[in-house]
Amino acid sequence: MNKLFLIILATLSIVPISSVYAETAEGKGEAIIIEVDKRNTGWKTSQSQMKMVLRNKRGEETIRKIRIKSLEVENDGDKGLTIFDEPKDVKGTAFLTYSHALKADEQWIFLPALKRVKRISSSNKSGPFMGSEFSYEDISSFEVEKYSFKYLRDEKVENFDTFVVELVPLYKHSGYTKQIVWVDKKDYIFRKTEFYDRKKSLLKTLVFSNHEQYLGKYWRALTMDMVNHQRGKSTTLLLSNFKFGMDLKDSDFNKSNLKRAR
């Protein structure tokens, strides 16, 4: 399931979640997240456009225009291709992700200025993605097997009733000690996520809004606002023109084709 685009991005067969609740907080938290994942399975291929708005401490903005292609992979994490179209200094930059459930994600980036494809190290996934407040880790697809879970409480966010669940990464080199997610009780989509750094301090907050449903089933947040509380910077992702059932093949997500990505 694709995280940023996604990324970063994670939303939602309607089975009452109470029917699968376990007795423990851990079991309840896991059941909630499994339901989230289940409702976002089966879309196969998708394509969208995105405007990335980067803001510095003074509120000054830099805007980038991006295209995203995604391929759902059965029994593994998804594949995602991100292509930068504007401005001129990043045009032609292409980023490829192979997300995995039980092994390290694979990520590569093509930088036109260097004219070469660079692999992103597994130990560098906490680094900022193209100067934004999203990390490389944030834009991998969400895989249930990567975390342990704990239900914390019920809480209202804006006007939405939500479950609050703690996620602790089980994979090596995560930049976070935990994430706290607010899951909409009605549609099982993420409304908000808090990210805690390796010192267990609140690092970032991501708010999902302006959701739309596609194919009568799949929800996508068209607006994602990430605020970095420690750096005083923020990044907003504005997604549009979602299309599903595109003629995308595994060969379209080959690192050897990154230099020619269009």
Strand partners for 162: 155, 184
- What DSSP state is assigned to residue 7? B
Q: Which residue has the tokens 């401005």?
A: 87
Digit-by-digit pLDDT tens for the chain (262 residues) are: 444 443 444 443 434 454 445 579 999 999 999 999 999 999 999 999 999 999 999 999 999 999 999 999 887 889 999 999 999 999 999 999 998 877 788 999 998 888 889 898 877 778 889 899 999 899 888 889 999 999 999 999 999 999 999 999 998 788 999 999 999 999 999 999 999 999 999 999 999 999 999 999 999 999 999 999 999 999 999 999 999 999 998 888 988 888 877 6
pTM above 0.85, yes or no: yes
Residue type, 41: T
Strand extents, DSSP E, 91-217: 94-98, 106-111, 116-119, 147-157, 160-169, 178-184, 190-196, 202-214
| CA distance linking residue 46 with residue 168, whole number of Å | 29
**C-alpha closest to that of 131 among 205, 259, 226:** 226
- Cα→Cα distances 213→6, 55, 69, 84, 244, Å: 15, 29, 18, 26, 12
End-to-end Cα, the chain, rounded Å: 23
Residue 176: both structure tokens together: 């976070």
- Quote the pLDDT of residue 75: 79
Distance, C-alpha 249 to centroid of its chain: 21
- Quote the pLDDT of residue 140: 83
Q: Which residues neighbour 69 within 8 Å (Cβ) at sequence distance 6 or greater? A: 45, 46, 47, 80, 81, 83, 246, 248, 252, 253
Strand partners for 240: 49
